[in-house]
Amino acid sequence: MASATSGPGRCVNKGGLGRRQTLARVRVAVRLRPFMDGETEAKEPSCVRAVDSCSLEVANWRKYQETLKYQFDAFYGEKSTQQEVYIGSVQPILRHLLEGQNASVLAYGPTGAGKTHTMLGSPEQPGVIPRALMDLLQLAREESAEGRPWDISVSMSYLEIYQEKVLDLLDPASGDLVIREDCRGNILIPGLTQKPITTFSDFEQHFLPASRNRVVGATRLNQRSSRSHAVLLVKLDQRERLTPFRQREGKLYLIDLAGSEDNRRTGNQGIRLKESGAINSSLFVLGKVVDALNQGLPRIPYRDSKLTRLLQDSLGGSAHSILIANIAPERRFYQDTISALNFTARSREVINRPFTNESLQPHALAPVKLPQKELPGPSEAKKAKGPEEESSRSPESPAAPASASEKLSLLQKLSNMDPAMLENLLRMERLLGSQGSQGAPLLNTPKRERMVLIKTVEEKNLEIERLKMKQKELEAKVLAQEALDPREKENTPTILQPRSSCSGTVAKPLKKAVVMPLQQIQKQAESSNKIHLLKKGHKRKLEPSQESEAVEKGEDYWEVQISPELLANGRKKLLNLLNEGSARDLRCLQLIGQKKAQLIVGWRELHGPFREVEDLEKVEGISRKLVDSFLKANLLSLAASQQSDPS
């Protein structure tokens, strides 16, 4: 079953306490509700007859002389009271909660059979839930009274499964909750509200408003039909006041299942039909789970429905379970009655394995406290340590004098700590004190991680020293280079050579990178008149108004300008290539691919050679904008090739 939790479930029983498992069969009781009105009872007899307190027989609706006999753990006739049902079937399992075990009570049956009445009852005839809570709170008060060994606290959670959604009835705004399972197989619902209760008034204060949040609706068979499965979880936490300080946790699940419905008789439509489909589907999966458990199948389909996921402890799990099947006496409910009794008979064969959920309290696992007089001195603590801890001690840490343990320190006030741990903390404090304010805060670091951290710090310090030495060498080289003659330095190119990996090999020098002033480049350009010039302009296109403003403000901007001679030669060379070049030659040009090269060759064969480069826009698929981009890209490349190869 599910339990409220706000964090991950504990997966280890502290202190080594094991689970004491026992075998317990699911106990089954059947309750027959009376006729809804006296007129029906007078017209037709009941189709269900009691044989004894544990057996019943159902008359065949076709042949009234034939009957089907069933035997269960208890049978309550139509004149049975709420108290008889509770005392006979539910009250005996409450004692298991004080032993740290789980228990569950399920009300099963078709719609209109009296399940909610059995679980809740009325103010005059309280049902299973209010009676169980009264007795459980009374047991908790008696067992946790002064002088008793256990301190018991009780808490409750209340949820419903509506159309395969897990909803918190104590906090409806929380939305659909998820179902989790920890490593020990416990079913958990993170975020489920959990309310502590000490008296029955506290229980009513939370339960009654939450019950009004449950979804109910009217059908032809029931004016207040439950449209969801409701689960009330009551948890008992027990803590032992004396040694060995054990703690136990017992859970009680009180489940009111929604009834299976025949939509032909209930007249469900719209949302009621959808609700009925979800209810019948979950109950069908519940039957599959019972069949799989009885057949011993390797896979139990708990996960096929939210309902069976929550009932995982109650059926084949770790709870003492009691199933109360509610049936109707009318003949028109014959098929529903037979179906409910068959399911109940199969459930009676399911075997659960309850265990005592017991562990030690966290403070019981703390080290034994020693008085101040019995604390060993530094020499005794050193003897108690193993060789591994002694070798891990830093060689640079100075030995602490005997008077150091007498200094006022926050660590020395922890007299109730383990002596070996206290000595380690004092030694670390002395080490940090010797390192000054630059010492690393290592008190909270584990031993192995602390040694790795110290080693990493030492390696970083050595790396910093190497970088400092390298920086000094580079600064010395720069100063020696600045001492050269300025003219020689200007004409001497900067050569970048990689540092050789081995002392015996010499790396090849990289290409020389010559840096020349802009004025010298412009002079060479004016004298040669063959290379492109850098002229003041703007990097991006400007509107005419923005361009004038930029000129008025005197802003500096740059653009590329090529001499007219280079442009003319580039155009001539480009035109010759367009008229004489093959498709392969044309693909070497910028922005010309395989398809455009074939189009150019085909146009040239049909219309003759190009008169000028701008005639490219006559070719199909080449626009004027593409021609401009083509000229800019190829003229620059051709000009550069002419500059590098004047011939």
The annotated binding site is made up of 109-116
What is the C-alpha to C-alpha distance for residues 619 and 604, in angstroms, rounded to an integer?
A: 9
As annotated, the binding site for ATP includes: 109-116
What is the C-alpha to C-alpha distance for residues 377 and 406, in angstroms, rounded to an integer?
A: 11
Strands 27-32 and 319-327: parallel
Cβ neighbours of residue 82 closer than 8 Å, sequence gap 6 or more: 118, 121, 125, 126, 127, 128, 131
Contact in structure between 513 and 496 (CB atoms under 8 Å): yes
Question: Measuring CA to CA, which residue among 94, 359, 145, 365 is closest to residue 249?
Answer: 359
User: Beta-strand (E) ranges in 6-138?
Assistant: 24-25, 27-32, 48-50, 55-59, 67-71, 74-76, 102-108
What is the C-alpha to C-alpha distance for residues 526 and 531, in angstroms, rounded to an integer?
A: 9
Query: How many CB atoms are closer than 10 A to CB 428?
Result: 18
- Among positive and negative, which fits the CA dihedral 623, 629, 631, 634? negative
Contact in structure between 532 and 639 (CB atoms under 8 Å): yes
DSSP classification of residue 260: B
Strands 351-352 and 187-190: unpaired
Tokens 């014959």 -> residue: 334
Long-range contacts of 405-411 (CB under 8 A, 24+ apart): 405/377, 405/378
Residue 57's φ and ψ, nearest 5 degrees, are -135, 145
Taking CA atoms, 473 is separated from 166, 469, 477, 480, in Å, by 72, 6, 6, 11
Contact in structure between 618 and 604 (CB atoms under 8 Å): no
What is the C-alpha to C-alpha distance for residues 72 and 312, in angstroms, rounded to an integer?
A: 22
Contact in structure between 374 and 417 (CB atoms under 8 Å): no
What is the C-alpha to C-alpha distance for residues 280 and 343, in angstroms, rounded to an integer?
A: 14
